[in-house]
Structure 1
Amino acid sequence: MVILATGILVAVSCAIVGSFLMLRKMAMIGDAISHAVLPGIVVAFLMSGSRDSLWMLLAATAVGLLAVFLIQWFHRQGVQSDASIGVIFTAMFSIGVVLVSLYADQVDLDLDCVLFGEINYVPWTKLELFGVDIGPKSLWALGLALLLIVGCIGAFYKQFKLCAFDPFMAAAVGIPAALFHYALMGLVSVTTVASFESVGAILVLGMIVIPPASAYLMTEKLSTMIFYAILYGVASVLLGYSVAAWLESSITGTMVAVAGVLFVLTLLLSPTHGLLWKTRRTKRATGAA
């Protein structure tokens, strides 16, 4: 149950922020942030000596925002957006790898854990408060991240929505579009870092991109899209866990694979954008003509 609860918290958090990234055509920036925060994690670990430190979350979030700022700055200098993302995330991730190899190669700061995660160990990674065991650490981290996401987006939903659809219009009516842009990127950074130990940096990208992409094919309304994205994410977690238990395979990998299968099915069967329905409508229109 703890594994499923962790997966569901990841799926819901990623679905919410991923829906806004999808509308802003910035889905792959989640990949950039998930890799670029590694230097912040390493530096925070070296300064605090602990992987449980709050400073690790804060440092990673700050480095994630720095990566977003550099991507935007390069883009304003004339570099294409996809090239900016590629340059920043590969460079910053490489810096993190170098720091690990130089200063943390003798400690339990495993790159495989950062990249792929291991959700099987979630129930045994406990959080203690004043010497009292208060439950799995990942549940607390992801729960607080989800509360932050829901609180921020719930309080400023109209502003985030307008900035996602038309940032120039938002700026024209007095909404600080740049502020909400970086706020969204901060939420993506928090979600990514909070998910490291459970699903890893790479697999969290699948939950940020695939369920919102499936939901995008189902509706034209943002609130409904977020709802569908959450449903797709939760379904991927539940079905992925069952399939992984049956195949005895990687749980997190199977969850994302199931999300991919659901996306393909949606692409084929969606009543608005599905390929089969489009083909059927085209044949009907041709026959009527």
Structure 2
Amino acid sequence: MYELWILIVGGLVGASCGIIGTYLVLRRMAMVADAISHTVLLGIVGAFLVSQTLEGPLMLLGALITGLLTAFFIQLLDSSGVQTDAAIGVVFTALFSLGVILVSVYARDVHLDTDHVLMGEISFVPFNTFEWNGMSLGPEAFWIISGVFILDLFLILLLYKELKISTFDPALAAALGLPVTLLHYIVMSMVSLTTVASFDSVGAILVVAMLIVPPAAAYLLTEKLSHMLILSAGIGVLSSTAGYYIAKALNVSISGSMASTAGLIFLLVFLFSPSHGVITRKIVQRRIVNDAA
């Protein structure tokens, strides 16, 4: 059961990050995922200073607020003429550094530290269980990530058409009267919630990998949004499952192995994708040349 819980939690992280990461990749905002996955540290330590506990909804609320602030400041600098990559860099480093300072000053005696946040340790997940009436109902991480995954899925299904139009053609969405700015912050809210729900177990490194790599691979495999969402979730689950067994065989970091496996899958797709693969296109070109000769 120990191994099964790790696989389940890893799969949920891969699936939830994959579906919401699809919109980040399509909106060309992939590095915002990196920024939010680090700046939510400020929200978590802020919530800890208020509540003096690392449990409860205040953690999610603090991370959500910080994630939205990150997106807001990036958008503000971008609209003011600062290049997007520079805006992300400025906001990312400023808020994350402030979080690190607060941790080092006010949270030295708790397990909230930068190594814990960045790397995580999914192998400890099965030990932190949710108890109800003296009965163990499985790891807390499972229930938290499951709830966020269901919420993400619900919002995507509810706002599928609106998110699709605003993602591919914001100008058309605005002309049709859709609340483009509100939809943008809904996506950022989902990214923030998914990030903080995931990285307590697996760390920010794996969260960033799952938010970007599976959707990037799915982008090379299909041109339909619905198919891309399914493929992103599937690649995320495959990466986490295969990564666990690779880590077990090699006795290495589980989260690191999962992220590396996602990168390996992307490399294979990049080389052999039916329509975009580098090697596939060369084979097709060679056949065309041979047929013409």
TM-score by length of 1: 0.97
Q: Are 1:147 and 2:150 an aligned pair?
A: yes
1:17: which partner in 2? 20
Amino acid at match of 2:96: F
Amino acid at match of 2:18: A
Q: Which runs of 5+ in 2 are unaligned?
A: none
Q: 2:163 aligns with which of 160, 163, 179?
A: 160
CA distance in 2, matches of 1:218, 1:18: 16
Q: Within the alignment, does 1:80 sit opposite 2:83 as a pair?
A: yes
Letter in 1 for 2:196: V
Deviation at 1:127, TM superposition (A): 2.2
Deviation track 1:92-123 (CA, whole Å, cap 9, x = no partner) reads 00000000111111222122111111000000
| 1:121 pairs with 2:114 | no
Q: Whole-Å Cα distance in 2 between the matches of residues 131 and 162 of structure 1?
A: 48
How do 1:131-142 and structure 2 match up within 5 A? 132-142=135-145
2:204 aligned with 1:214: no
Q: Tell me what 1:68 maps to.
A: 71
Tell me the distance in 1 between the aligned counterparts of 2:71 and 2:7: 31
CA–CA separation in structure 1 for the residues paired with 2:240 and 2:267: 17
SS at match of 2:136: strand
1:170-211 CA-to-partner distances (Å, cap 9, x unmatched) read 111111111111000000000000012211112200001001
Q: Provide, for residues 226-281 of structure 1, a one-character-per-residue CA deviation record: whole Å limited to 9, x for no partner.
A: 11111211111111111111001111110110111111011110000000121122
Superposed displacement of residue 130, structure 1 = 6.0
2:12 is aligned with 1:6:
no
- Looking at structure 2, the residues matched to 145 and 189 of structure 1 have their Cα atoms a distance apart, in angstroms, of 10
Of 233, 239, 242, the residue aligned with 1:239 is 242
Please name the residue that 2:260 is paired with: 257
Q: How many residues align?
A: 289
Specify the alignment match of 2:282 in structure 1. Answer: 279
1:95 equivalent to 2:98? Answer yes
TM-score normalised to structure 2 length:
0.96
1:205 aligns with 2:218: no
The code of the aligned residue for 2:33 comes to G
Judged with a 3 Å threshold, the aligned counterparts in structure 2 of structure 1 residues 218 and 204 are, in CA distance, closer, same or farther, namely: same
Which moves more between the two structures, 110-119 or 78-87? 110-119
Distance 2:95 2:55 in 1: 22
Query: Which residue number corresponds to residue 37 of structure 2?
Result: 34
Secondary structure, counterpart of 1:28 in structure 2? helix
Identity of aligned residues (%): 49
Q: C-alpha separation between the residues in 2 aligned to 1:14 and 1:46?
A: 28
What are the ranges of 5 or more consecutive residues in structure 1 without an aligned counterpart?
Answer: none
Q: Distance in 2 between matches of 1:54 and 1:119?
A: 21
2: CA distance, partners of 1:83 / 1:222? 29
CA distance in 2: counterparts of 1:47 and 1:175, whole angstroms: 37
Q: State the one-letter code of the partner of 1:135.
A: G
